[in-house]
Amino acid sequence: MKENRGRRRKSPLSRAEQTREAQRRFRRRMQREGKFPMQAYVDRDLVQIVDADAKHRGETRGDRVEWALRRAFAKTGGRQ
């Protein structure tokens, strides 16, 4: 019987989960320091740059995504 080689993590996080954890830590640190970075959200095949301080203006994630798309369209003159 073959030996089980290599290190096994107790509970492996998927790449997406690792990214989310890292983003969460980063965002918390920035908020502690009073900075609100531009936050990139990856939604399947759609990438939106969403301003993290939108939360503090009482907007939902959907609103933020919508505004990010509008900004992107405005920059390209309505063309993709």
Distance of alpha carbon 77 from alpha carbon 34, whole angstroms: 34
**pLDDT attached to residue 74:** 66
Examine residue 27 and state whether it is found in any structural domain, yes or no. Answer: no
Examine residue 57 and state whether it is found in any structural domain, yes or no. Answer: yes
Distance of alpha carbon 59 from alpha carbon 51, whole angstroms: 11
The owner of tokens 């320091």 is 33
Examine residue 49 and state whether it is found in any structural domain, yes or no. Answer: yes
Helix (H, G, I), strand (E, B) or coil at 19: helix
Confidence band, pLDDT 50/70/90 cuts, at residue 28: confident
Domain that holds residue 53: 36-80
Q: How many structural domains is the chain composed of? A: 1
Residue 25 pLDDT > 80: yes
**pLDDT attached to residue 16:** 78
**pLDDT attached to residue 22:** 82
Distance of alpha carbon 38 from alpha carbon 24, whole angstroms: 13
**pLDDT attached to residue 6:** 63
Examine residue 12 and state whether it is found in any structural domain, yes or no. Answer: no
Examine residue 68 and state whether it is found in any structural domain, yes or no. Answer: yes
Examine residue 63 and state whether it is found in any structural domain, yes or no. Answer: yes
Examine residue 8 and state whether it is found in any structural domain, yes or no. Answer: no
* Residues 31-60 pLDDT 10s: 777 665 544 444 444 444 455 555 556 666
